[in-house]
Structure 1
Amino acid sequence: MERSLPATGHYIQDIHINDRARVHIGDQIGCTTINSKVTPLLDFDGVYAHNALAPVSTYVDRVDLRSQLETHLHNRIAHASRSSQIEVVHGIGGAGKTQLVLDYIQRHRQDYSAVFWIEAGSRESIERDYIQIYILLYNLHLEAAQGAIEVHNAVAAVKRWFYGRGKRWLFVFDSADAIREPNDPFYVDLRRFLPDDPSIHVILTTRDRCAQDMTELPAVIVEEMTRGEAVTLFQKQAMILAPTSQQEGHIGAIVQELGYLALAITLAGSYVAATPRLQRDLAYYLPEYRERRRELLTQRPLWLVHQYGESVLTTWETTFRTIERQHPQVCHFLALLSFLNRDDIPADFPTVLVNGEAPMWVGALFPGQRITQYDIEAFFRTLINFSLIKYRGDQNSYAMHSLVQTWAYDRLVEDQQKSYGCICAVLLQVMTKTVQDANPLVRARTVTHIVSSFHKISQCFKSASVDDNVIVYLLYGLARFLDSCGQFKDEVVMERFIYQKHRSGHGDDHPDTLMSMNNLAATLREVGELQEALSIQRAVLEKRQQILGEDHPDTLMSMGNLAAMLGDVGELQEALSIQRAVLEKRQQILGEDHPDTLMSMNNLAATLREVGELQESLSMKRAVLEKHQQVRGEDHPDTLMSMNNLANTLGDVGELQEALSIQRVILEKCKQILGEDHPNTLGSMSNLANTLGDAGELQEALSIQREAVRKLTEVLGVKHPFTIKAEKCLLWIEQLSTDTGQMQ
C-alpha cells in the first residue's frame, strides 16, 4: 500500500505488490512473531516485576487485612481447586491495596517458586509484561526479534509453561480497574490473561467490586486505616520519630481530618517533612489545609471533589501550591507527565530528551529557559520528595499513583490540557526517534506511552477547532511509529481520529481529509478489515478523480492501492484492469524509467502471473529488470527485487536453469549487501531451494531450505507469512525426497 503524507501532494511508496506464491525480495517485512519451537526453561526461581517487591519503608502493618489475605490464600491447602486460586483486593484509590500486597509478598516470598507482578492498568501494559515473561520463561534473546511479538501466542505460551509443574507460583495483577465497561478506552478483558492452573495463586488489586465475580474466595476490602495505623504512618512519613504530647494531639487531629486514608496521610506527611515551618510547629498544618479546602470547593468542579474526596484533593492541592511557589517548573513537568503511561516513565528521560540541541518540547514547556538533564533530574527528585511519584530502582523507571496522575490532568482547564497535549505529542516524537532501531521491548514501552497519551489527547481535542492542525500533524507521526511496531489495532483508532478531525475541520473534499482516508484504509487492510478498507479506498479514488483529475499522482496512487485491495479479496480481473490503466498513465506522464512507472510494471506483472498470463508477466519482468539495472544499478534493492520476481516466473514456465542462475546471483548479492540473516537474504535462500526442488536437486534444496526455515523462525517468528511459506516449501521438498528415496 502507498500511504499519503500530510499536507503535501507527495506520497511514500512503501509496499510493492510482488509475486505472492513464494518468499520475495522487496516485499514489505511485517511484524516479528514469537517462535513456538523454542525450548522452555525446566524451572524458574525468581521474580518478574517493574519494582522491588517490598512495601515502602514507611509502611505500617495492617494486621487484620494481612490476616485475611493469608487465611484466604496462603494458608489454603495447595491445589485445593481445579484452577488457579484468585484473591481480589479491592477498595477506593489511595487506600493502600498495593502496599498491602507487597507486604504479603515480602512475608511469604520463600513459599512461592516465583512471583510475577503485572501492571494491569491497561491492555498494553499487560501485553508488555506477558511478552517479557514469555522471553524470561523461554530463555529468548531480544536480538533475535526485530519487531512486535504476537501477544496471544505469548499469553498462551506463558500459561502453558505452568501446567503440571507441581510448585507454588504467585501472579499479581495490580490496578486492574477498567474491567467492567468494554467501551472504556482502557478496558481489559482480564479473563483472557488470568493463568489457569491449581498451582498458581492470583491476586487482583482493583477499585471495581465486580472483580469479586471472578473468584469463590472472599474479597479483602481495603478501606480507611485504624486511628493507630494512621498516626504511625503520618509520624513515619513526616519523620517525627519521637513526638511530644502536643504533637501527638496535632497528629491525631490531622489524620482524623484526612479520613484515615493512607494516600492522603502519606502525602500530608511528605509535605510536612519537606516544609521546615511545619516541622517546627504542626499547629499550622490544619488551618492551611482547611483554607485550601475552602478555596478548592469554590473553584473546582464538584465532580472533582466527588471523585477524589475532599481530604485527598485538598492534600494534593496544598502540596501543589508549595511546589508551585518553590519550583514552578516542576508543576509544568508534572502536568506533562500526566499524559504518559504512569507506571513506566523511563529514568533516562533527562539524558534522552534534552540530548544535544534542546528539542521543541523543552522550548514549548519552558519558553525562554535553558533546561538541562540536571534540571529534569531535579524535577524528578522534587516530585519524589513530595511523594507524587516514586523511583523503581530495579526497572530504572519512575511510577505515579493512578489517582495522582488523573488529578494532575483533571486540575488543568481545557486550554491547558490542549497545550500540554501538544507538548506531550512533540516529546513522544523525540522518544520514537531515539528508539526507532531499539529492540522490541524498548519500542513496546514507547507504544504504551503513545496509547496512554492519545487517550487523553483525543478527549481534550474532541470538539472541532481550527487550531487542531498541529496536534493532528503530530499524531500522524505517532501513527507511523505504531505502524512500524505492528500495533495496527491501536493505529486504526488513531487513524480514525485523524480522519474525523480533518473531515470536521476541512470538509469531505479537502486533500488532508482524503490523505487521512487513504491512510485509514491502508491500516484497516493490515488488521484484515478488507471490505471497509475497500469501501474507503473506492471513495478516496472517486473524490480524487473528481477533484484532482484522472492523471494526478495522488489519483494514480489511489488507483494502485485499490488494485492491491482488490487483489486481496480475489477480484483479480478488476485489479488487472486498474493496474494496466495506472501503468499507461505513469508511462505517459512520468516516462518509462521513473521509479513509480517501474513499480506499476512490477505490480501488473505480479497480478498477470496470478491470473495465469505467464508469458506476458515474464516479458514485463524482463523489461522491469533491464530498466532497474540501467537506472538503479546492479546492486540496488529494486534491481534485486526485479531479479527475484523474474526468476519466480521463469520457474513457472519451466526455465529452471536460468531461474537457478539468477537466484544464485541474488543470494550472493544479498549476503554481501544485507548480511547473512537479513529477511530478504533468507527469502532468496527459500526461493533458490524451491527452484532446486523443481529441478530435482533435492539434497541441496533440503540443506538450503532447512537453514532458511531455521533462520526465518529466529528472525521473523513461526507465524510470519514468510516463515509459513518457507515451511510449506520445506515439507514439499521433504515429500519429494521421500518419494524419490533421497531423504537425508
Structure 2
Amino acid sequence: MPAERKPVAKTVPQTVTISFAGFNRAWAAWIGDRLERRGHTVSYQRWDPPVEIPLEESFQDLLLAPGPILVVLSDWYFQLGPRGYEEWNRALRGVVASHAGRFAAVTVTTSALPAATAVFAAADLTTVGEAEAERRVLTRLGLPVEPLPDTEDTRRGPRYPADTPDVWGGVPRRNTRFTGRERLLDEAYHALLQAGRGAGVVTLHGMSGVGKTQLAAEYVYRFGAEYDVVWWVSADKRVTCRQRLAELAPALGLSTGAEYGERLRAARDALRRGDPYARWLLVLDGADDPEDIWDLVPTGPGHVLITSRNPEWSEHNSTLVEVRVYDRDESVAFVRRRAPRLTHDEANRLAIALEDLPLLLDQTAGWLNDSDMSVEEYIDLLADGIDQDVVRVSADFPLAFQTGWSILLNKLRETVPESVDLLRLCTFFAPGAIPVRLVRDLPPERLPEKLRGLVDDPVRWARAINKLRQYAVVRAAGVGEREVHDTLGDTGAAGAAGDTLYMHRMVHQIVHQDMPERDHREFIEVVRGALVAADPGRPTDTRLWPRYAEITPHLKWAEVLESTDPAMHTLVLNCLRYMYLSGEYQAGIKLGRRALAAWRRILGETHSRIWDLSYHYANVMRAVGDYAGTEAIERAAVEHLRAERGPKDLEHLRAAGGLAADLRGLGRYREAFDISEWTLASYRELLGDQDSRTLNAQNNLAISLRLLGRYEDSLELNRRTLEARRQLLRPRHSWTLFSELNYATDLRLLGRYSEAESLQSQSVRVHRIVLGRDNPQTLRAEHNLALCHHRSGERGRAAALFTQILESCERVLGEHDPLTMMFAASLSCFAREHGDVDRAVEMSDRVVHGYLGMLGEDHPYVAGTRANHALVLRNVGEREQAHALIEQALGDMTGAVGRDHPWTLGCAVNASALRNIVGDPEGAAELTGDTITRATESLGRTHPLTLSARIAHAADLRGLRETRRAEKVEREALDDLAATLGPQHTHTVTARSRNRPYWDFEPPII
C-alpha cells in the first residue's frame, strides 16, 4: 500500500524540483514560472536516466533534492532508453510508492502510461485552460491556490503550452519520434538567449540528411511558448524567402498595400522595432547560400534560427551550431521508435551500417518495420546501393536521400565543376577519412588533364574543397571524428590544410554510382598510383605502421586486387605483411582471401606472385589458429616449388618454413623439427649465418626444440639469434624484441626465474613503446612477465598483469583467438591456486572446449588443459571425476609427445596426487618414482619439474609409511631447492611446509 501522503506546508515557500523529459520542456518552464511568481524556488531536472543504471537508482537520486518532486508525466518520460514497462512499474512501486509524500505529478498526455504511474495520483492538465491548470498544479503540491493580486508580478512569462503563439505559420508538424539532440537544443537556446539585441541569429549547419530541419522544428515546439510570433520560411531560394517574409505582414496585422515589396519592408520593419510583437522567432530553413539572402535576415529584439549546409553564415553575424550524425545511443533509440520490431542489437547494427545518419535511419528503419527481412539481409542489400524500393519516405523526412544529393550534385556541377571531379576522385578511397594529399604528391604527368590543372593550382584546389565543405559534402577530418578506419596519420595538420577530408559512407556510395565510365577509368588509376607511391616499402618497421594503417583501408575501393601491375602486387603483399605483424589478423585474412581468388583468376594458379601471397596469407590464418587450413596452403606451395625449382630454391625454403609452423600448430613437433633443421642448414649453405632469413629459420628451429621439451638446446639457439639480431638489426627492432621474448621464456622454463624476470621486465617496457600496448607480441611479452612474477612468488603483480592482458586480448583479438585461450589458461591456473575456484572452473572449462574445437581430440593442448582442469575439479571436491580426467590426460599426452616430454612428466606429477586421493598410494609412489628417473634424464636433477617430482615422491613414500626413505628423499630435494632457487623462494618455502607441488600446463604459441 502507498505510504500516507503528508500535507505540504501552505505558508512557507517551498523548493520544488520539476522532473521532465526534454520533449516537455515547455510544460516544465510554464509550471516553474507559475511557482516562482508565488515565491517558491524551482529546480529543473531533465529526466534522461542512463541505460546502464537501474531505474530504481535513478529515482533514488531524485530523492536527494530538497522538498517535493513534481514529475511531468507523458509517454516521452517513459521512452528514454530501451526499457520495458515492467521495469518502469517495478521502479515506481519500489521507490515512488515508498516515498509517496515526496512525489507529486501532473500528466500532459492522453497516451497509455505504465500501470504503476497511478501511484503518483497525477493531476490531468490535458483538457483544461491555463487558470485551471495552474490551480491543479498548486492543489497537487498542497500549496495555496488563491489568485495573485494583479500588481504582484506583471512580467511576461512562458506561454501556456496548450496555447499557440499569436502568430504561427509554416511550421512543420512535430516529429513524435524525435530523439536526443539535447546538447544541441540547449546550445542553440542559450546562444539566442545570451545574444544582444539584433544579434540573436543561430545557424544549424551540417550535411544533407543529418536532421537540421527536424532539429529546428523541435526547437520551435520545445521553446515556442516563449515567443508571440513563430514564422517558418523556406529559404533555399531568394524569391521564395522574400515571398514568405512578405506574407508575415498581414499575419502581424500590419496595414499595408497589396504590393509585394511594400509588405516585405513593413514586416522587416515591424520585426526590427518589436512592434506589435517583441518576442518573435523566425526560422530560415535550407538557407544554403548566405550571399543570396543574408540581407533579408531581420534584426531586432527577436531571434532567427537558420538551417544550412553552409558554415559561411558565420561571416554574417551568426553563431554556428554544427549538427553531426546521431550519437550511437541516439541512433538506436530512434530506430527502435521507428521500427519497434527490431531489438537493441539489431538497431545498433543498422546504425553502424548507416553511420548514424538520421535521414537514412528513418527511411530504412521505416521500410524494415513493415518487412519480415532480417537486419543482416537488409544491410547486405544496402551495400549494393540505396534503392527507392528498400526505403520508406516518411512525412517527418519527406525528401528521399538520393534525391537530395542528386539536386546538390547538379548544383555543384553548374557552379564549380572541378569540385565534382574532386568528389568523384575521393570515392576511390574508402569512405570516412580520405587522404587526398596522396594525390597531390603525385607527379603532374601521372594525372589526367582535368585533374592536372586542379592539383597544380592551389587556388583552384582550395576553391573546390571549400565548395564541398560549404555544402557539407565533406568536412575536414579531425580529432573526435567517428572514422571508418582508426589510424589516420597526421590527420590534424592535413585536415587543417584541406588535405584529409571526411565523407560519409552513403554520400560516398551515391557519388560513386553517379559517375561516367571514363571518369571511373581515369580516377581509379590515379588513386592506385597514389597508394603505390605512399607505400613506405618496409612493413617490418614499426615506425612506418601508421602510414600503412592509413593506406590499407583504401585497397578495396581502388580495386587494387584487379590490377596486373607488379607495383600493385607489391603494395598488397606489404599491406598483408603489416596486418600480420601489427595484429590486424581478421582484416588480413579478408584481404588475403580476396587477393588469392583475384590473382588466381587474373594471373593463373601457378604464377610466382601466388606463392608470395600464399605465404603471407597463411601467416595471418595461422595467427588465428587455422593450422589445418594453413597446412593445406603451405604443403601445396612446397610440393609445387620443389618440383618446379628444386629443394634449395629460396621461395621453396620459405614455404617449407611455413609448413613447419603449421605442423607445430597441429602438434606434430617431430615432423616440424625435421623440416626446421633441414631448412636452417639450407639457408646457412645458401646465404650464410648472418642473413636475416637464416636467423628467422634459426628462431623457428629453437621454437621446435622448445616444443619437444629440449629447453637447454632452445635457449642456446635463441641466445645466438638474439645476439645476431642485436648486431644486424637495431635493438628495438620487433624481431630483436621477439628473440628477447623467446630467450626469456627458455630461461623461465629452465627455472632461472630471476634472470627471466629481469630480461622480460626490461623488454616489456620497450615492447610497449615500439609496438604499442595492444600488439599481440606485446601481450605475449607481458604474459611471460606475469608467469615470471608468478614463479617468483610475486602474487599481486602477477594477478594484475594476468587480468589486464586477458582483458586486452579479448578486446583486441576476441575470445576464441589462440592468444586469448593461452592467457585464459594461465589465469585459470592462477585463480585455482589462489582460491578463486569459481572463476577457475568457468575459465578452465572454456579453455578445454576451445582447444577441443580448434585442434581436435588428440592434440597435446587438449590433454594439457584437461590436466589443469582435473586440478580444478579436485579443488571443488569432484575427486573421482578429477582422477579419471587426469589419467585420461596422462595417457593422451604420452601418446601425443612421448613418455619423456616435460608435459607428460608434469601430467604424471598431478596424476600421482590424485591417485593418493582416491586411495591408490602404491600407484602414486610408483608413478612419481618413475617420473623422477625420466625427469632427471630429460631435464636434470635440479630442474623445477624434477624437484617437484622428488618432493611429491617423498609425500607418496610417507603415505606408504616408508618414513626413513621419505625423509631422505625430502631432505635431498629441499637442499637442492634451496641451492637452486634460494632458501626463501616461494617453492622452497611451500615444499618445506609439506604442501604437495602441482604442475600447470602452459599452452605455448607456435
- TM-score w.r.t. the length of structure 2 is 0.40
Letter in 2 for 1:457: E
**Residue 520 (structure 2) aligns with:** 417
Q: How does 1:475-490 map to 2 (within 5 A)?
A: 475-480=572-577, 483=580, 486-490=583-587
- Of residues 460, 463, 467, the one that matches 1:382 is 467
Letter in 1 for 2:465: F
Determine the C-alpha separation between the residues in 2 that align with 1:692 and 1:527. Answer: 27
Letter in 2 for 1:329: E
Aligned: 1:338 with 2:427: yes
C-alpha offsets along residues 195-238 of structure 1, whole Å, 9 cap, x if unaligned? 9xxxxxx99434472344589xxxx9954879xx9xxxxxxxxx
**Residue 660 (structure 1) aligns with:** 754
**Residue 795 (structure 2) aligns with:** 702
* 645-654 or 394-403: bigger deviation: 394-403
Aligned: 1:567 with 2:656: no
Letter in 2 for 1:205: D
SS at match of 1:366: helix
CA contact (8 A) 2:332 2:348 kept: no
CA contact (8 A) 1:472 1:498 kept: no
Letter in 1 for 2:795: L
Determine the C-alpha separation between the residues in 1 that align with 2:542 and 2:208. Answer: 41
Q: How does 1:636-715 map to 2 (within 5 A)?
A: 641-642=738-739, 644-654=741-751, 656=752, 660-661=754-755, 663-665=757-759, 667-668=761-762, 687=784, 690-691=787-788, 693-694=790-791, 697-698=792-793, 701-702=794-795, 704-706=797-799, 708-709=801-802, 712=805
C-alpha offsets along residues 273-296 of structure 1, whole Å, 9 cap, x if unaligned? xxxxxxxxxxxxxxxxxxxxxxxx
CA contact (8 A) 1:660 1:688 kept: no
CA contact (8 A) 1:564 1:575 kept: yes
Aligned-CA RMSD value: 6.0
SS at match of 1:454: coil
SS at match of 1:339: coil
Determine the C-alpha separation between the residues in 2 that align with 1:375 and 1:76. Answer: 50
CA contact (8 A) 1:608 1:617 kept: yes
C-alpha offsets along residues 360-413 of structure 1, whole Å, 9 cap, x if unaligned? 987887336653665443212223556755789984896667675444323434
Aligned: 1:507 with 2:604: yes
C-alpha offsets along residues 561-583 of structure 1, whole Å, 9 cap, x if unaligned? 11112222222232222112212
Q: How does 1:278-427 map to 2 (within 5 A)?
A: 312=406, 315=407, 318-319=410-411, 321-323=413-415, 327-342=416-431, 344-345=432-433, 352-353=437-438, 366-367=451-452, 370-371=455-456, 375-384=460-469, 395=481, 405-427=508-530
Q: How does 1:392-471 map to 2 (within 5 A)?
A: 395=481, 405-427=508-530, 450=554, 454=556, 457=559, 469=566, 471=568
Letter in 1 for 2:467: T
Q: Which runs of 5+ in 2 are unaligned?
A: 1-46, 52-73, 89-112, 114-175, 179-206, 224-326, 352-357, 374-389, 482-494, 814-818, 836-985, 996-1006
Cα distance, 1:551 vs structure 2: 0.7
- Cα gap change, 1:652 to 1:547, in 2 (>3 Å): same
CA contact (8 A) 1:365 1:423 kept: no
Cα distance, 1:588 vs structure 2: 2.0
Cα distance, 1:719 vs structure 2: 6.5
Determine the C-alpha separation between the residues in 2 that align with 1:475 and 1:514. Answer: 13
SS at match of 2:333: strand
Higher relative contact order (CA 8 A, sep 6+): 1
Cα distance, 1:483 vs structure 2: 4.8
Cα distance, 1:524 vs structure 2: 2.8
- Cα gap change, 1:476 to 1:651, in 2 (>3 Å): closer
- Cα gap change, 1:169 to 1:489, in 2 (>3 Å): closer
Q: How does 1:265-276 map to 2 (within 5 A)?
A: none
Cα distance, 1:73 vs structure 2: 7.2
- Of residues 647, 653, 662, the one that matches 1:556 is 653
Aligned: 1:602 with 2:699: yes
- Cα gap change, 1:610 to 1:192, in 2 (>3 Å): farther
Determine the C-alpha separation between the residues in 1 that align with 2:728 and 2:546. Answer: 40
Determine the C-alpha separation between the residues in 1 that align with 2:505 and 2:395. Answer: 20
**Residue 173 (structure 2) aligns with:** none
SS at match of 2:456: coil
CA contact (8 A) 1:563 1:578 kept: yes
- TM-score w.r.t. the length of structure 1 is 0.52
- Cα gap change, 1:345 to 1:670, in 2 (>3 Å): closer
**Residue 296 (structure 1) aligns with:** none
C-alpha offsets along residues 574-609 of structure 1, whole Å, 9 cap, x if unaligned? 222211221221122222343322322222222222
C-alpha offsets along residues 325-346 of structure 1, whole Å, 9 cap, x if unaligned? xx4432321211233454x346
Aligned: 1:210 with 2:313: no
Cα distance, 1:506 vs structure 2: 2.6
Determine the C-alpha separation between the residues in 1 that align with 2:804 and 2:404. Answer: 53
Determine the C-alpha separation between the residues in 2 that align with 1:72 and 1:443. Answer: 51
Q: How does 1:515-530 map to 2 (within 5 A)?
A: 515-530=612-627
CA contact (8 A) 1:605 1:620 kept: yes
Give the number of aligned pairs. 501
Letter in 2 for 1:539: A
Cα distance, 1:76 vs structure 2: 6.0
**Residue 333 (structure 2) aligns with:** 171
CA contact (8 A) 1:384 1:390 kept: yes
CA contact (8 A) 2:732 2:770 kept: no
- Cα gap change, 1:95 to 1:528, in 2 (>3 Å): same
CA contact (8 A) 2:764 2:782 kept: no
- Cα gap change, 1:545 to 1:587, in 2 (>3 Å): same
Determine the C-alpha separation between the residues in 1 that align with 2:402 and 2:768. Answer: 58
Letter in 1 for 2:798: Q
SS at match of 1:550: coil
Query: Matched residues, percent identical?
Result: 18
**Residue 134 (structure 1) aligns with:** none
- Cα gap change, 1:478 to 1:408, in 2 (>3 Å): farther
Aligned: 1:579 with 2:687: no
SS at match of 1:509: coil
Q: How does 1:147-162 map to 2 (within 5 A)?
A: none
CA contact (8 A) 1:362 1:371 kept: no
**Residue 544 (structure 1) aligns with:** 641
Determine the C-alpha separation between the residues in 1 that align with 2:534 and 2:626. Answer: 30
